[in-house]
Amino acid sequence: MAADIVFDALRTALGPTAAAYALLAIGLNIHFGFTGLLNFGQAGFMLVGAYGVAITVSTFGGPLWLGVLVGMLAAVVLALILGVPTLRLRADYLAITTIAAAEILRLLVRSTAAEPITGGVFGLRQFGGDFFALNPLPDGRTYFGALAASPNRAWVMLVGWSLVALMTLLVWALIRSPWGRVIRSIREDEDAARSLGKNVFSYKMQSLVLGGVIGSLGGALFALSLQTVQPDTFLPQVTFFAFAILILGGTASTGGPIVGAIIFWFLIGSLQSGLRRFSDADMLPEFFGAQAVGAVTLTFVGVLLMALMIFRPQGILGDKKELQLDVS
């Protein structure tokens, strides 16, 4: 049984969901890790990416590429709407605005009024056709050995992790450039950056847009992998998980989101697989029904974060020396 749990966990850790969350965390890393922006509404960017694809393809019968583009453009618009009024103000204004906006978006797409377009509480499905039609992997066999991925799942994994690699490369290139230097200086002290002639507002806006668009790609990937979108996937806890991944991997380290996503989902995967298998074998107490899994997962993430803060506050790839400097 232990081996089964490990394989289940690996399947989760390398699966499409982990890749999607890695993208969310890469976006948050740009916002929070490098620029110091507190975006607590990454779930909102994910939502527009997912619904961009779903609505364009499923509701309006448009092509997949257009759907992805719509999702990205919606993320740009969302970033502008969030950023214009708040980025000149203190950091907490952005935090409050983003968390509220993400929730408003979720309630909006699940509302009855929006049902003809968004499918309301039922969401949308059948928009992955184009995507899976592109799958070059032959049918009728499984992929990635013990991970036993179906051709479709293998295809999403390939595309997802390639996207993660590409975005990581993009962030790496940007952060080591003079652009990234300005971004990091804003995280350290935006008045200092201003006194040196940098247009802080413009850079914060660029950061918010970039991280949001990467988050929306995570949403599109997520939707395609499940081949369905539902509003209640985009609860605030999605952002909470993405932050947990970022902190676990190491805030402000370029590879942190990848490492964080894999380890995070490995742990979640083993937890959920363990619970399920123990429950199937009737080895859990009665009250520990299937509904408890969500609560246990959340509790576990909380404990994980606490342990991290105590034993390795810089995360796995983070720089301890950097963390110890006083940033006043």
Partner 1 sequence: MSPKPSTDPLAGVAAEPGVPKPDPMLTISDVRRSFGGITAVDVDHLEIPRGLITGLIGPNGAGKTTLFNLLTGFDTPDRGKWTFAGEDLAGVPAHLVARKGMGRTFQLTKALSRMTVMENMQLAATGQSGERFLTALVAPLWRGKEQEITERADELLVRFKLDHMRDEFAGTLSGGQRKLLEMARALMVEPALVMLDEPMAGVNPALTQSLLDHVKGLRDNEGRTVVFVEHDMDVVFDISDWVVCLAQGEVIAEGRPSEIGSNRAVIDAYLGATHSEDPAHRKKRHERRAS
Which parts of this chain interact with partner 1 (CB under 8 A)? 170, 173-174, 177-182, 184-185, 187-189, 191-200, 206, 321-322, 325-328
Contact 83, 189 (CB under 8 A): no
Paired tokens of 24: 């969310």
Q: Environment class of residue 130 by beta-carbon count within 10 Å: exposed (0-12), middle (13-18) or buried (19+)?
A: middle
Nearer to partner 1, 196 or 295 (CB): 196
Q: How far is the CB of 166 from partner 1 (least distance, A)?
A: 13
Which one, of 90, 100, 87, lies nearest residue 41 by Cα? Answer: 100
Q: How far is the CB of 170 from partner 1 (least distance, A)?
A: 8
Q: How far is the CB of 58 from partner 1 (least distance, A)?
A: 33
Q: How far is the CB of 199 from partner 1 (least distance, A)?
A: 5
Nearer to partner 1, 65 or 172 (CB): 172
Q: How far is the CB of 318 from partner 1 (least distance, A)?
A: 11
Q: How far is the CB of 107 from partner 1 (least distance, A)?
A: 33
- Residue type for 260, please? G
Between CA 281 and CA 167 the distance in angstroms is 42
Collect all residues with Cβ–Cβ distance below 8 Å to 120 and sequence separation of at least 6. Answer: 109, 110, 111, 112, 114, 231
Paired tokens of 237: 């806890």
Nearer to partner 1, 139 or 326 (CB): 326
Nearer to partner 1, 115 or 322 (CB): 322
Nearer to partner 1, 61 or 178 (CB): 178
Between CA 102 and CA 267 the distance in angstroms is 27
Nearer to partner 1, 199 or 299 (CB): 199
Between CA 219 and CA 67 the distance in angstroms is 12
